[in-house]
Amino acid sequence: MTQTATEQGKVFARILDPASRANPYPLYARLRETPISRQDDGTYVVSTYQEIAALLHDPRISSDERKSSKEAGALAASGKLTPAGQPSNPPFIFLDPPEHDRLRRLVIQQFTPERVEGMREHVVELVNHLLDAKKNSQQIDIVDDLAYPLPVTVICDMLGVPREDEPRFHKWATLLARSLDPAQGISEAELKQTIQAATEIGEYMNGLIEARQKEPRDDMLSGLLASYRQAGRGERDLLVTMTLLLVAGHETTVNLITNGTLTLLRHPEVLEQLRREPDLVIRVVEELLRFDPPVQFRTRTTLTDIPIAGVTIPKGAAVALLLASGSRDPRRFTDPERFDPRRSDNEHLGFGGAIHYCVGAPLARVETQVALSILAQRLLNPRMEVDPPPYRENASLRGPEHLLIRIDGIRDI
């Protein structure tokens, strides 16, 4: 049944409501009845694949939320993923060309395929080590025991962050990742906590940068420092990029691994196929990125009026691109509500698209492929204790807070 404009105007607010976190997909389906809908707060929500893909490639839409007439004041005070007091230096994912391209290029130079693929055996060792620590247990929390410690250890190792400092990043990362939600979904108390976390992580990063200036090492931080210097970039830009890599570099992978485990447990026939065919994990992860991605939506701002799908989005409007909704659009994918790793056409939006395609996608794929493959082989008779599990507050970077699994044991390597 087609909804009225008034009904459509309230759906996105329900998606932001924590009560919808366990399953926002029926709400996405309702929004797809009208590809572009104006919400009560003035946000334009884009929910269908074709329109999302078009806007991801449209230079008339900006990733710099400071350009939004509605958000500018609030964002200037929020310190989104930046050290507090430095709103003029957002990370490159919140910038437009040519500045975005210059800073992104410096990161890509360090995030080489050789460096990422070279981490695969290390990831295998880490996953097996984490599972070995639970060998005498009949219960495992996929989040606390695997999905969180794995990517945070990997990114800290790559950047050169001392392992003893890793626990400090859990609180920082959770708070800063929450800031990726639209402003209307964040309370004043959460905003204050976010600014405090940004300040603390900024101070910590400054210390690391100063240490590498005195004594460079064979790590990504030293490489980034050299590249930024050569490009004439300041330490503040490097500090913001480091914060981004540490937060976004592991928060999304935590969700991808956890969502993947949850999906496999809900589809035991696929889990059994993965046990028999370990190479299937590549297609499992790609289908997971379509079916239940860690990044549900991203926000943009229009630089001019944009006519699309019979609607004109006005200049300066906030736009929410519902990537997870687009990847379940029945006009683009056959039987989109079915989890099917063997589907022949899977050009999903799980890592975004165009110039903002996720820089860390290759590393996230390696970590998730290894984790899900080993879990399928080593966990004996895994079954969920609670379904659905409890979810974290974040609506944009969506994933369970805990995923408790009862097991009969863990198979030896």
Identify the pLDDT of residue 71.
46
| Confidence at residue 183, expressed as pLDDT on a 0 to 100 scale | 59
Task: Report the alpha-carbon distance of residue 10 to residue 15 in Å, rounded.
Answer: 9
pLDDT band at 181 (very low <50, low <70, confident <90, very high): low
Find the distance separating the first CA and the last CA of the chain, reported in whole Å.
53
User: pLDDT confidence of 87, banded at 50, 70, 90?
Assistant: very low
Per-residue pLDDT, 200: 87
Domain segments of the chain as ranges = 5-410
Confidence (pLDDT) at 6: 64
pLDDT score at 401: 95
Spatial CA neighbour of 361 closest among 238, 244, 253: 253
Query: What is the per-residue pLDDT for 50?
Result: 98
User: What pLDDT is recorded for position 262?
Assistant: 98
Confidence bin at 235 (pLDDT 50/70/90): confident
Confidence band, pLDDT 50/70/90 cuts, at residue 293: very high
Assess whether pLDDT exceeds 60 at residue 257. yes
The partner residues of 379 in beta bridges, in order of sequence, read: 410
Answer yes or no: is pLDDT of 144 > 50. yes
Average pLDDT for 127-156: 94
- Mean pLDDT computed over 68-84: 45
- The confidence band for 83, taking pLDDT boundaries of 50, 70 and 90, is very low
Please say if the pLDDT value at position 86 is more than 50. no
For residues 190-201, average pLDDT = 82
Q: What is the mean pLDDT of residues 24-45?
A: 95
* The pLDDT of residue 78: 42
Average pLDDT, the chain: 89
User: Which comes out higher in pLDDT, residue 195 or 273?
Assistant: 273
Of 257 and 233, the one with more pLDDT: 257
CATH code of the domain occupying 5-410: 1.10.630.10
pLDDT value of position 72: 42
Residue 75: is its pLDDT beyond 60? no
* 88 has a pLDDT exceeding 90: no
Secondary structure (H, E, C), the chain: CCCCHHHHCCHHHHHHCHHHCCCCHHHHHHHCCCCEEECCCCCEEECCHHHHHHHHCCCCEECCHHHCCCCHHHHHHHCCCCCCCCCCCCCHHHCCCCHHHHHHHHHHHHCCHHHHHCCHHHHHHHHHHHHHCCCCCCEEEHHHHHHCHHHHHHHHHHHCCCHHHHHHHHHHHHHHHHCCCCHHHCCHHHHHHHHHHHHHHHHHHHHHHHHHHHCCCCCHHHHHHHHHHHCCCCHHHHHHHHHHHHHHHHHHHHHHHHHHHHHHHHCHHHHHHHHHCHHHHHHHHHHHHHHCCCECCEEEEECCCEEECCEEECCCCEEEECHHHHCCCCCCCCCCCCCCCCCCCCCCCCCCCHHHCCCCHHHHHHHHHHHHHHHHHHEECCEECCCCCCECCCCCECCECCCEEECCEECCC
pLDDT in tens, 319-358: 999 999 999 999 999 999 999 999 999 999 999 999 999 9
The fraction of the chain above a pLDDT of 70, given in percent, is: 90
Confidence of residue 18 (pLDDT cuts 50, 70, 90): very high
Q: Is the pLDDT of residue 64 over 80?
A: yes
- Quick one: pLDDT at residue 186? 65
Lowest mean pLDDT among 91-100, 248-257, 334-343: 248-257
Q: Which residue has the higher pLDDT, 131 or 3?
A: 131
Per-residue confidence (pLDDT) for residue 84, from 0 to 100: 40
